[in-house]
Each structure stands twice: as C-alpha cells, then as structure tokens.
C-alpha cells in the first residue's frame, strides 16, 4: 500500500540521475573550454585588426618621414646653391632638365604611394595636396633661366612640402600609438573576460558538484537511518532521536505483532510486506497526530518514542494502530512501555519496555492458550 503522506513517513531525498550528473559535469567542463577557444579566436582577430591598423599607420609615418627628409635635404641643397650662385643666372637647360625630371618623377611616385596608403583619410589627403602643390611650385621655380631668387623660392617651397609631410608623419605616428594602446586595452579586456568566464564556470561546476555530493550524502544518511520497506526510522534513527531529547521526559513503546508469522506463512511474504507497510503507515499517522516518532526495529517489531504523552495512552494508540483485520485474518499487537529517563537511558528503557512487551505476550497466551493452535488449524484447513 503506497504511503500518501510524505510528511509522516520520510521519503528518501531525490537524487539526480547519473546520466544527468555526467551531462552537467561534461557541459560545465566543455563550456569554459569552448568559450575560451571562441573568445580567444575572436580576440586574436580583433587584436590583429587593431595591430594591422597600427602597422598601416606606422608605414604611412615612415614613408611620410622619408619624403619629408628628402624634401628638407632638397631645400637645404637648393639654398646652398642659391648662396653659391649669388646674383648670376644659371642657364643650360640641357644639363638641368634630366635632373629636374628625375626629381619630379620621384616626387610624383612618392605622392602616389602615400595617396594609396592614406586611402580615404581627408586630412591626410589635404596634407598630401599641400605637399604636392609645394613641390610643383619648387619645380616651376627651377625652370631655366635659374636665378638666385628662383632657387630661394624653390627652397621655400621644398621646406613647405617638408613641413606638410612631417605633419602627416606626426599624425600617422599618433594614430599608430593610439592603435597600439587600443590593442593593449582589447587584450586586457579579453583576458579579464576569459578569467571571469572560466572562474564563473568552475564556480558553477564546483557548486553543482557540491550540491550533488550533499544530495548523495543525504540519500546515504536516509538509507542508513530508515527502514527500506516501511520508510520508518531504524535503530540508528531511534538512537539519534533519543539523543536529541536529552533529559526531556519521554514515553517509549515497544510493539510486536501477534499472529504475523501465521499470516506470513498463509498469505506469503509479499502480503506480509504489504501488511507491514499498512501498519507502519497507521502507526506513523498516530505518531504525527500526538507529536511522536515511529520506528521499525526489525521483523514485526516497532517502537514509538516521543515527549509529552502518557505511556499508557501511547501503548493503547499503538495497539490500535498495529491491529489489522480482514475477512480472513486478524493480526493484533502486544505493547510494552517505558519512561525516559525514569527507566534509564535509551538502552535501559528499551530493556524495560522489552520485558513488559513479553510479559504482555505471556499474559495474552496465558489467557487464551489455544490462540496459536487455532491459527495453525485454520492455516492447515485452508
């Protein structure tokens, strides 16, 4: 007969299925690894993108610096020539033409390379236009006949181009440093996030493992302190309950079923187990009603313990609860009671109650010595 009241007869704590426990553990082990790998790949791509930007800006700065250096050197060279020439004019277009052509071609090539590097950057393109305009003015000033004033104008234009390119190089250098700092911040953020995610997953793993272990320990403790057939507490639970009472006065009743052996022999062990579960449920309900606890000590022996109740009344309640009658059977109970701590500690009270229990059994069979014989005859006749 199933027990409907879970608060009366304790039920074992639920334990997570082993497959579910393995699944959660595997998930909690794989999640940090997968998140770490995915986050690491994403972080590497993001950091590499930022680093690529930094390298690009570094290239722009290097090329711009090289061009600015060339422009400064050209300005210095032209200024030196201007002072050497003095007031004379320099002609000879045949000798200057190839050199000016090479200078113009080199300036154009450098301008085109920088233009490709800066892309759509409006400020960089404006600096390049200013540099290109200054270089064009310098080349125009060097057209023959070359005079001292033309050389000075060319030197000034080359200096202007150098300044524009230097400004472009400085700006690219600042952007390179900013990109490096951004990459460092991204790296720190990714590492921090990875540490947080891994720590959180391990915390969840340890928490779940601890919870499963506690649940498993609760289940083991329940199995160690409860009878598997009836769900009542066993001798260990009885000892714990007596320790919890301390010096509080309490009544103890030991009960033994009369006629259970004959019932078991007649109807079989399955029916006997069902009978034990029925009477266990009833005695547990009695215990819940009067504030006491019921225990099964083994076989057909039960014990009820609790404070605040008269021993005689407790014995009567137990005797009524343990009686099981039907059309073809009748099982009653003999009860012996004792008091804690008047009859000693738990061990002493159990001995006293056990002695009174067997006194009650002897009195019953003395009053009706044919009881066992009638049961035997009925069993043989059936």
Q: What is the pLDDT of residues 135-154, one digit of tens each?
A: 888 777 777 777 778 778 88
User: 289 pLDDT exceeds 80?
Assistant: no
* Nearest alpha carbon to residue 314 among 252, 356, 242: 252
Residue 258, phi then psi, degrees to nearest 5: -100, 125
Same fold yes or no, 21-196 and 235-381: no
pLDDT at site 27: 67
User: 248 pLDDT exceeds 50?
Assistant: yes
Q: Which CATH class is domain 21-196?
A: mainly alpha
Computed over every residue of the chain, the mean pLDDT equals 78
Q: In angstroms, rounded to a whole number, what is the distance separating the alpha carbons of residues 275 and 297? A: 16
Higher pLDDT, 142 or 285: 285
pLDDT at site 296: 92
pLDDT in tens, 301-336: 999 998 888 888 888 889 899 988 888 888 999 999
Q: Which residue has 């952007």 as its token pair?
A: 175
Confidence of residue 104 (pLDDT cuts 50, 70, 90): low
User: 33 pLDDT exceeds 90?
Assistant: no
Annotated domain spans of the chain:
21-196, 235-381
pLDDT in tens, 168-187: 888 888 888 888 888 888 88
pTM, entire model: 0.51
Fold classification of 235-381 (topology level): Alpha-Beta Plaits (3.30.70)
Higher pLDDT, 270 or 70: 270
pLDDT at site 99: 60
């Amino acid at each position: 007969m199933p027990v409907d009241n879970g608060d009366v007869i304790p039920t074992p704590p639920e334990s997570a299925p082993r497959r579910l426990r393995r699944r959660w553990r595997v998930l909690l082990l794989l999640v940090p690894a997968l998140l770490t790998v995915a986050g690491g790949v994403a972080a590497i791509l993001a950091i590499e993108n930022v680093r690529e930007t930094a390298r690009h800006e570094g290239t722009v700065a290097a090329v711009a610096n090289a061009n600015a250096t060339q422009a400064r050197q050209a300005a210095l060279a032209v200024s030196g020539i201007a002072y050497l020439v003095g007031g004379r004019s320099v002609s000879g277009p045949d000798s200057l033409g190839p050199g000016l052509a090479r200078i113009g071609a080199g300036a154009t090539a450098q301008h085109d390379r920088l233009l490709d590097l800066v892309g759509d950057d409006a400020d960089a393109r404006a600096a390049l236009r200013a540099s290109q305009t200054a270089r064009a003015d310098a080349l125009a000033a060097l057209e023959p006949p070359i005079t001292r004033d033309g050389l000075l104008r060319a030197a000034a234009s080359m200096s202007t181009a150098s300044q524009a390119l230097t400004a472009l190089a400085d700006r690219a250098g600042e952007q390179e440093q900013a990109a490096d700092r951004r990459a460092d911040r991204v790296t720190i953020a990714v590492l921090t996030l990875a540490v947080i995610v891994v720590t959180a997953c391990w915390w969840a793993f340890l928490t779940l493992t601890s919870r499963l272990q506690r649940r498993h320990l609760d289940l083991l403790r329940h199995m160690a302190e409860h009878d598997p057939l009836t769900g009542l507490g066993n001798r260990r639970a009885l000892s714990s309950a007596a320790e919890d009472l301390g010096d509080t006065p309490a009544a103890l009743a030991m009960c033994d079923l009369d006629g259970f052996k004959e019932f078991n022999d007649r109807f079989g062990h399955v029916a006997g187990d069902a009978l034990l579960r029925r009477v266990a449920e009833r005695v547990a309900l009695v215990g819940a009603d009067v504030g006491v606890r019921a225990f099964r000590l083994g076989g057909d022996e039960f014990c009820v313990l609790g404070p605040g109740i008269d021993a005689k009344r407790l014995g009567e309640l137990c005797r009524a609860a343990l009686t099981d009658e039907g059309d073809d059977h009748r099982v009653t109970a003999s009860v012996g009671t004792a008091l804690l701590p008047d009859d000693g500690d738990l061990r002493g009270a159990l001995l006293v109650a056990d002695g009174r229990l067997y006194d009650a059994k002897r009195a019953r069979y003395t009053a009706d010595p044919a009881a066992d014989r009638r049961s035997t005859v009925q069993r043989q006749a059936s």
